[in-house]
Amino acid sequence: MAEDGTSGAVHLLCLAASSGVPLFCRSSRGGAPSRHQLPFSVIGSLNGVHMFGQNLDVTLRSARTEDTAVVWKTFHDSVTLIVLSSEPGCSELRLERLLELVFGAMVLLVGLEELTRIRNVERLKKELRATYGLIDSLLGDAELAGDLTQCVDCIAPGDGPLLQEALAGFAEEVPHRLLTLMLLPRLELCVLCGPQPPLSQLEPQVLERWWQPVLEPLRACLALAPRAIPAGFSLHPDILGLLFLHLEQKRAFFTVDLGGEEGPSPRTRRRLLRSFYVLVTATHFPPEAGSSEEKAEEQGCPTGVPRACYVVSGAAAKGPEGREDPGAGLRLVAIQAGPRRLLLLVSPQSPTHALRGLATRTLHALTPFL
């Protein structure tokens, strides 16, 4: 099912779980929306094999061919989502979380009751059109990591408490509608708010009161957006990108914009870090790694939870004698300390024996931010 091109394609199918009637199909290729649709026979086969397993009390969650990964997930025994990806290195973890985000988008814009009690399939199809824009954005290339880590992507502004106070006060006056308000070009505020105040009074009563006084800190936030951490914060020059998570607070920093133009492109750096996160999460660090480690230390017992790991990425280079040098590729290192986890993408010139020390120092330096 792979398509021409190295970037691969993603196909998302949504069907009524009881009848197998397709509700919609969305596709992307190379990170951009695509009009390519899967044949109805393929859609029927994918749903049929899933339903066949259910009839035998077997849950089919995922499958993989030579060039395509497939994941199935049924929500509330009402809607089945199927995703196929021929993107290089695509993991089941990423696809599972994609399906959860897609269903969340459907609930947000259509409503849970409409999805769990399907009375009119054709009407539901029309209502689901409102979700296409949001779903297409989820299928595209992600510049952040929140879709994968399930943590909020953050920045570290110098006036954080001031902005937090403005946000808390603003949220107390609009709690049940979904509004998107542009505070500055490239800076939007999304809130759930109630029926009052009316939109005509929102700007003079709320925006001017809470956000006019903090326009300068907001402008400073825009400058932080690509880097996430303050420009004056010093990082080792070998670090090409980082993903820093606080697993209990569900917050994270993700950046590949750390200065310097040498090395892989930002898109490649993001792909490598996201792929490494999947490897670390699925293989080395269990979801409760931080708490398990602390509990074992409190009890004075040895723990089998890893504290660090690394891999070398990229093709091996030839040494002076024509032999392959396995240390010539990019380095990816992860370190766990309590609820905090740090993943680094490091240039090939950094020696492997120094990776743990580099990661430890960087984690300690970043700890005040999360």
Phi, psi of 239 (to 5 degrees): -80, 120
Report yes or no on 147 lying in a domain.
Answer: no
Whether residue 1 lies inside any domain: the answer is no
Task: Please indicate, yes or no, if residue 151 is contained in any of the structural domains.
Answer: no
* Count of CB atoms situated within 10 Å of the CB of 287: 9
- Give the 3-state secondary structure of residue 179: strand
83: which strand partners?
12, 71
Split into its structural domains, the chain has a count of 3
One domain for residues 175 and 124: no
Query: What average pLDDT does the structure give for the chain?
Result: 81
The answer to whether residues 212 and 299 belong to one domain is: no
| 185 and 258 together in one domain | no
pLDDT per residue as tens digits for the range 291-336: 444 444 444 444 566 788 988 876 544 444 555 444 458 999 999 9
The amino acid present at 320, given as its one-letter code, is P
Query: 116-120, 194-198, 275-279, 319-323 — which is least confidently predicted?
Result: 319-323
User: pLDDT digits over 20-60, tens only?
Assistant: 899 999 998 877 777 788 888 888 888 888 888 888 888 88
pLDDT given at position 295: 47
Instruction: Supply the range of the domain harboring residue 95.
Output: 9-141
Domain-terminating residue out of 184, 200, 224: 224
Per-residue model confidence (pLDDT) at position 316: 47
Summarize pLDDT for 210-221 with one digit per residue, the tens. Answer: 778 888 888 888
Where residue 258 sits, what CATH number does that domain have? 3.30.450
Q: With the C-alpha atoms ordered 292, 297, 302, 305, is the resulting torsion angle positive or negative?
A: positive
- DSSP assignment of 86-150: -STT--HHHHHHHHHHHHHHHHHHH-HHHHHS-S-HHHHHHHHGGGHHHHHHHHS--SSSHHHH-
Distance CA 316, CA 133 (A): 42
Task: Say if residue 335 is in the same domain as residue 358.
Answer: yes
Is the same domain home to 94 and 193?
Answer: no
112 with 13, same domain: the answer is yes
* Shared domain check, 175 and 55: no
DSSP assignment, residue 349?
T
Q: What is the pTM of this model?
A: 0.74
- Considering the domain architecture, whether residues 186 and 295 belong to the same structural domain is answered as no
Angle (CA) 265 144 327, round 5°: 45
Give the position of tokens 């300690």. 364
Return d(Cα 339, Cα 337) in angstroms, integer: 6
Strands 152-153 and 251-255: parallel
Strands 330-337 and 340-346: antiparallel
> For residue range 51-107, what is the model confidence (pLDDT) as tens digits?
888 888 888 899 988 888 999 999 999 999 999 998 877 888 889 999 999 999 999
One domain for residues 348 and 246: yes
Residue predicted with more confidence, 26 or 197: 26
The whole-number pLDDT of residue 284 equals 82
Q: Could you tell me if residue 2 is inside a domain?
A: no
